[in-house]
Structure formats: structure tokens, C-alpha cells
Amino acid sequence: MGIRKFKPTTPGRRWMVVNTFEEITTSKPYKPLTVTLKKHAGRNNTWRLTVRHKGGGHAKRYRLMDFYFHDKKGIPAKVETIEYDPYRTGWIALVCYKDGERRYVLAHAEMKVGDTIITDELTKLVPGNRLLVSNVPVGMKIYNIELIVGQGASSVRSAGSSATVISQDWEYSQVKMPSWEVRLVNKKCYVTLGQVSNPDHNQIVIWKAWRSRWMWKRPTVLGKSMNPVDHPHGWGEWHSPIGMKAPKTPWGMPALGYKTRKKKKTTNKWILKTRKGKLLLK
């Protein structure tokens, strides 16, 4: 785990920060577990642009990840390689189960080649093992959290992130998410012990525009720099004021603090405390 800084020999090198990739053990993925994804550049099935600032990108293959583990309960797996995944911020690990099947899993911060992991209802409290959240001691770090029973891991999967079990009450466990939100998780859900790998990811500095283009990111332009036909903030000489009391989105809706998410009981009813510290009484 480390980062590397460059001497400012060129404008593109100045302030640039990259990973040292010390944990990576191989440069080529396991081909049977890779597929090619078609690029859509932010367009839908009618080829209309629905997501702005997407396009280009470096050619890469998608690694088929295992976020379910349910069909491998009680079967130990040995870590063969630690690899880089262009679609994820954390490292991934190629594991070989005792029955001979290989799968990609999300690696934790301390994972090394030769380690053994296992999935079961109750396992040893070792990073990388997957077990029921009801069997996790209070105060222990977890990731790869399953929020709906049988759905598979869907939360806390980005580099360096981890959640904490803060209470075991009745049929639910209280889990403090990386956003400081406190959420109820069914005790029949599975979680993985530890912290996601590559915790130094937040220290990376892109700096030059072409590195963003490798990541499928196209340039973003201020609305005040556009024409009135393209944005409500458009028109004016140079960077003049936007000419309105409240800023707006390109489609005329209020911006900066205007709530657009509809309240859904199916998701909000599991939240005990919001990320802003507001208590939601049940």
C-alpha cells in the first residue's frame, strides 16, 4: 500500500500521484472469468444521450466477480493472485476453492497470496472470511454487506471503505456505514470481515485531462460559458453572473440543495440515523 509522486519534468507530471501497485502479483487476468462489455457512452437503447460527460475510454475487459458465495458455504478457498481491476477502485483476488473452481472476489486490505478464506454461517473471525452479520462481534469492521437476504453483497465495496457493527438487537443488526449512516441489517444477511483493499486510493491525483479520458470522462463546462439555448446560465460577457437568484440545472430545475429523490418507504424504513445525524423514529 503506497503512492508515488513524480518530479515536475513536464506539466503533465507536476502534482501527479499514482499507486505503486506493490500488492499486485500479476498483470494478466484469468481469461475464463473475463468478458467484453459494449460501450454505450452514456446513451440508452435509442442512442439518445441520457448521461452527460461519458465517452472514449481505454479498452478493458470486465472481470466476473462473485458477490453471492451462497453455493460455496463451508468450502475453503486459497488466494492465488492479487490483481488490478480497471472497473473497480479496490484490488481483486483470484481464489481457488477446494473443489477446483476459481472465482474473483473483492480483496481486503491485508490479503496476501496463500491466504485461505471461507464462507459459512459461523467462521473464524479472520479478515476475508464471510459469515452471518449476527455472528460478528460489536465493533468489528466489515465490508461486502448484503442488505437484502439472498441478494448478494451490494454495499461497502469501494477502495478503503468499511462499516462497523454497533449493536445486535432482536432480528436486526445495527451497522454504521462509511457515510456515518446507521442502518438496520437483517441478521440472516452475510458480510465479509475486514476493510476493502487499496486504502490509499483517495490520495490519487489525476492532474492531466488525458488520464480522465482514459477513464471515460469527457470535459465538463460551466453553464455560464454556454449559449442560452444550451443552459439557463448561458449568455453574457466572459464569466458574468448567472443572472438569476437561484442556480438551475441545464433542464431548468433548481440546483444546489433542491431535493429530487422521492421518499421510498422500502429503503428509508431501515435507516435509524441519517448521514447528517438526523434520527428517524420508527
For 132-149, the pLDDT digits (tens) are 999 999 999 999 999 999
CATH topology identical between 3-201 and 221-282: no
What is the full DSSP assignment across 172-211?
EEEEE-TTS-EEEEETT-EEEES-BS-GGGGG-B--SHHH
| pLDDT over 70 (residue 266) | no
Q: How confident is the model at residue 58 (pLDDT cuts 50, 70, 90)?
A: very high
* E strand or H helix at 131: strand 130-132
The domain locations on the chain are 3-201, 221-282
Q: Is the pLDDT of residue 130 over 90?
A: yes
For residue 282, pLDDT beyond 60: no
Per DSSP, the three-state class of 155 is: strand
Between CA 91 and CA 112 the distance in angstroms is: 11
Separation CA 267–CA 89 (nearest Å): 26
What CATH number labels 221-282?
4.10.950.10
The dihedral sign for the CA sequence 126, 154, 141, 189: negative
β-bridge partners, 116: 78
Residue-level pLDDT at 95: 97
Dihedral, 39, 93, 156, 153 alpha carbons, nearest 10: 80
Closest by alpha carbon to 129, among 183, 190, 175?
Answer: 190
Cα–Cα distance for residue pair 181/133, rounded to 1 Å? 17
Per-residue confidence (pLDDT) for residue 127, from 0 to 100: 96
Q: Which amino acid makes up residue 150?
A: G
Answering whether pTM is above 0.75, one says yes
Give tens-digit pLDDT for 240-257.
Answer: 889 888 899 999 999 988
Phi, psi of 133 (to 5 degrees): -65, -25
pLDDT band at 239 (very low <50, low <70, confident <90, very high): confident
Asked if residues 273 and 179 have their Cβ atoms less than 8 Å apart, the reply is no
Residues 244 and 203: their CA atoms lie apart, in Å, by 37
Across the range 164-171, mean pLDDT stands at: 90
Mean pLDDT of 165-194: 94
Helices (H) and strands (E) in the chain, counts: 2, 15
The whole-number pLDDT of residue 238 equals 82
Task: List the single range of 9-13, 87-91, 101-105, 182-186 with lowest mean pLDDT.
Answer: 9-13
Residue 265's pLDDT band, with cuts at 50, 70 and 90, is low
For the domain bounded by 3-201, which CATH number is listed? 2.40.50.140
